[in-house]
Structure 1
């Protein structure tokens, strides 16, 4: 991914974690790890991502290269479960994003459940 695509992915992640109106420290830490992993510093500043616009989120996701979409969807799930729960607003964005990519809701729910179990203490 080029820098512009990485910034778009960060914005998607930020939109998911901000969608419930509360950004937990675990979610902030997850975002910082991804920004660091993507090698973004001055190219990215916090405050991107409009959680109220699911259409923009799904449009941005669909615009990514097909080989990147599934990996980004996995990152969005990881972002949503970072604080140990998936709130209804986060789930709605994940479901809309999955549908935009042709991913079955059941498959998404299974991934969410697995990630929640693996992120739980002792999981």
Structure 2
């Protein structure tokens, strides 16, 4: 891991984000009396639940791309795109809680960061294969 310290840091921050969205759901469950395994009920609980699920789904896409980009010798650039993804997802959480209709730009920013990671990984592979 010493070859990818920045990517490792971003990964840890992603895990903290996932933990935070899980805590958001747990708090909303308690606040609104939604007992597990129910995933519907109060609208604010449902927002928290969708935030958690959307973030988890997006992380499953982004995390491998982050490490593929870093693995091809681009730790700094991978971490930068990962940091942009994190900022986009944090913005997404805030926007979705405030007004779900306004979450689009935040989602788009995170998606662009994921795409940048995919392009970095693809460039590394192609550069190596075509050498």
Q: State if a TM-score over 0.5 links the two structures.
A: no
Q: TM-score, normalised by structure 2?
A: 0.32
Higher relative contact order (CA 8 A, sep 6+): 1
From the two aligned structures, give the one with the greater helix fraction. 2
Higher gyration radius (CA)? 2
Q: TM-score, normalised by structure 1?
A: 0.33
